[in-house]
Structure 1
Amino acid sequence: MNPFSLARTAGIAVLIHLISSIPGSAVPSEPPASPQVAAAMQPYLDSHKLAGIIGIVADREGKVRYRNIAGYADAEAKKPISEDNVFWVASMSKMFVGASIMLLADEGKISLDDPVAKFIPELGKWMVVTEKDPDHILLKPLARPVTIRHILSHTSGLTGLSELQQLAGADTTSLKARAIPSVTGPLQAQPGEKYAYGNQGMNIAARIVEILSGMPYEQFLQQRFFDPLEMKETTFWPSEAQIARLANAYGPNKDGSACVRGSVGFLTPPFSDRAHRFPEAGGGLFSTTHDILRYGMMLANNGELAGKRYLSPAAMDELRKEQTGTTKLNYSLGYHLRNGMFGHDGAYGTDLSVNPKTGMIAIFMVQCTSGDQWKARDQFLQAATEAFSKPE
């Protein structure tokens, strides 16, 4: 090190010492790990049900109260998991569909009770299965129109994926191409009468966003949410550099002695291919801990962040309330409702949960293929809530 570098380093050290000696001016420290969260997650790590976890507990101002990071993003290489990692957030993508529709509702361009056929006339030709056995299927007309509310709350009667997606792949055709053929696969129930979770309704809603905004769905998300919220790494097409930081997905081997790597089989590699891959609005996004926290802060602040309003209080009310009609399940418009919190999870266990009353933002970032992610997520949320409720 040259003399100038030595002098500069020494000067910085003296400055830090002087600042830390001033009352109330301590040098900021990293948020602590929550003992409750650590205790809840350790059994999953020990049994290799989870290879690595990031658990963030923050308030609505974005202050991280607790940060738990443990395990590996690459178990074979013993590469620790970190907030630099990129995650496939899967069905967390649904939150942005609901938010996009509500943004357009705020602008007076759409109503939740509008029939989808108002925007895509071909969808008025749906029929409904009323009898089915190996020898015959009996179809009847719609008893009522399928509405925007139905497709966002999984009560439309649609199957999980369109026939086109089932044959060609989830992300190999455009949203426009996927929407129209959905009429060839009949509804499995009359609109509003049954809840059936899936992605097809979300993709149709995203296509309607394209029609009303006059731009591709991914461009709408970029302009209206990702860019202004500084969500710089949230995308349907992670770059090669982002893929190099992708946290690997794992589950335990048969005797639980080690992790076995899985893959993002739902999507079509290479994930950076914009020429042959298209947005899967119900489950195609990749993101980071930082970006999910930014979105969570907007939700926790009732649709506003840093002086910019994204969604009206009325729109936020719609996203926070149960929307499944007579089925009365804990689901809204692309948002799960759970123990006073709202948000969404993804297939491999990633989760954002926001408590609008306390302002708690809980983020769980994992990539788990075994099915243990849901119990782990629930235990994380319980521990996070207990930790957040304690005085600072």
Structure 2
Amino acid sequence: MLAPTSPESVGMSKACFDRIEAHLKSRYVDAGRFPGTQLVVYRRGKVAHSAVQGFADLERKAPLRDDTIFRIYSMTKPITSVAFMMLVEEGRVALDEPVHKYIPEWKNLGVFVAGTAPAFLTRPPSRPMLIVDLLRHTSGLTYGFQQRSNVDAAYREQKIGDVVKAGTLDSMIADLAKIPLEFSPGEAWNYSVSTDVIGYLIGKISGMPFEQFLKTRIFDPLGMADTDFFVPAAKASRFAACYSADPPGAMTFHATERKGTLTLQDDPATSSFLAPPDLVSGGGGLCSTASDYLTFCRALLNGGELGGVRLLGPKTLKLMTSNHLPGGRDLPELSRSLFSEATYNGIGFGLGFSVTMDPAKTLIAGSPGEYAWGGAATTSFWIDPAEELAVIFMTQVLPSSAYPIRRELRSMIYSAITDSNL
């Protein structure tokens, strides 16, 4: 981790950061809602705040540390999306190409009308699924945990997109060929396994395994040594436990009353993340540290380049962080999801990130052009180019919808800015 500087030197308030940490301690850690927290705030090229508190592992009383390794789940999606756009920049694939060009068995995918697996009644889509639909979640694919339709049920039956992964990328693609789409591509937004499909395409188009592409093109060049799809034995002592806010360790992704108690969901001593996975999930498979993810965010905040390593050109990054929802609409207007990592009014979706269009509609302080996402275990990040700001929050509690921590942090961190660029 970069050494913190004085918050005042980058136009932020130490008193506000002290208040944030006290809030995290009293409302979440001491109250038993979170085992521990890590918060990193980066502004104007410096770390303005970096703090850890509580435990990485409650059962073993292991304190949370700066180098604790977390399951970042869907914070994998922006990394996968950046990797794919590297191939776009190289002219190897285009956003307006049909997905069936690369996955021929998907050419005749129908749209759900009625029925249950395997006897679905379908209709033809109004247009083919395009690559851009995968990146912006307008593909018609879904997640089983949405629990909204018979299509979701078919995903659950096949264990497609589960937190505990089953099968391989190849078998997932083959299984999806047998399940209809929720809707015709481009008609709606639905949080889905689309980014896992992007990971599959990266492997197919690049000619190397997806995980190898990330390692050789992003992680190794940037020095993200603790980011991978598994935690090796030499680092296992740094791996956090993961908890559920829903006894007895279940995951209810929808609104419900939590009692402030934690159930161990994934023991770091026996976790499936201790070995390379069969299914390498570009939608939710990575483990990382706050320091590594800050390195990734710094590259994005710097226009796609860090320390002489360029991932993307600034114009490509600008394209990715523009709202791509049809008609310029926001997520609540177009979404059919019962769950996502962002559902506020005034927020659209780009190519791998949520994008703030109008902070006044979100009713939360911020800037137009911010982009962000989070993970199922309540990790989150956002980048505000206008304020030269990046924020990373880490804990390990499923689901991310259990508590309004992201909303609280946004309000409190923006209140710490004393010298705004706007």
Partner of 1:167: 158
- Cα deviations by residue, 1:202-243 (Å, 9 ceiling, x for unpaired): 121111111111000000000111011110010111112333
Question: 1:260 Cα shift?
Answer: 2.7
Does the CA contact (< 8 Å) of 2:242 and 2:265 recur in 1? yes
When structure 1 is superposed on structure 2, of 365-374 and 219-228 the one drifting more is 365-374
The partner residue of 2:264 within 256, 262, 265 is: 262
Q: CA offset at residue 92 of structure 1?
A: 0.4
Quick one: distance in 2 between partners of 1:38 and 1:72?
Answer: 15
Matched with 2:38 is 54
- 1:82 paired residue among 39, 51, 65: 65
C-alpha distance in structure 1 between counterparts of 2:111 and 2:40, whole Å: 44
Aligned to 1:97: 80
Counterpart Cα distance in 1 of 2:213 and 2:320 = 19
Higher RCO, Cα 8 Å, sep 6+: 1
- 2:130 is the alignment partner of 1:128: no
Partner-residue secondary structure (3-state), 1:284:
coil
For 2:53, what is the secondary structure of its paired residue?
Answer: strand
Distance 1:258 1:323 in 2: 38
- Match of 1:109? 92
Distance change in 2, residues 1:116/1:378 (3 Å): same
User: Paired residue for 1:377?
Assistant: 406
Is 1:233 matched up with 2:226?
yes
| AA aligned opposite 1:185 | I
Q: Which amino acid aligns with 1:331?
A: F
Residue of structure 1 equivalent to 2:254: none
TM-score, reference length from structure 1: 0.83
Q: Deviations over 1:93-113 (max 9, x none)?
A: 111221112111111111111
- Cα offsets for 1:38-57 (capped at 9, x unmatched): 24323122321112111111
Instruction: Give 2:141's match in structure 1, choosing from 158, 177, 183.
Output: 158
Q: State the partner residue of 2:147.
A: none
SS in 2 for 1:379: helix
Distance 1:166 1:311 in 2: 38
CA pair 29-334 structure 1, distance change in 2 beyond 3 A: closer
Q: Which runs of 5+ in 2 are unaligned?
A: 8-13, 145-151, 248-256, 332-347, 357-365
Superimposed CA distance per residue, residues 282-326 of structure 1 (whole angstroms, 9 cap, x where no aligned partner): 111100011011001011111111122211122101221112214
- The counterpart of 1:191, out of the listed 185, 189, 193, is 185
Matches within 5 A, 1:217-366: 217-250=210-243, 259-264=261-266, 269-274=271-276, 277-326=278-327, 328-329=330-331, 330-338=348-356, 339-340=366-367, 341-366=370-395
How far the C-alpha of 1:198 sits from its partner, in A, is: 1.6
Secondary structure of 1:125 counterpart: coil
Q: Is the 8 A contact 1:75 1:259 kept in 2?
A: no
Q: CA RMSD in A?
A: 2.9
Partners of 1:40 and 1:380 within 8 A in 2: no
Kept after mapping to 1: 8 A contact 2:199/2:281: no
Q: How far apart are the structure 1 equivalents of 2:400 and 2:74?
A: 15
Q: TM-score, normalised by structure 2?
A: 0.77
2-side partners of 1:371 and 1:186: how far apart?
Answer: 28
Deviations 1:336-364 (A, max 9, x none): 22443212200011112110111101010
Q: Where do 5+ consecutive residues of structure 1 fail to align? A: 1-27
Contact 1:65 1:388 in 2 (8 A): no
Change (3 A) 1:233 1:133: closer
**More displaced stretch, 43-52 vs 283-292:** 43-52
Post-superposition offset of 1:86: 0.5
Q: Distance in 1 between matches of 2:71 and 2:273?
A: 11
Tell me the percent identity. 29
How far is 1:269 from its partner?
A: 4.3
* Structure 2: distance between partners of 1:119 and 1:207: 10
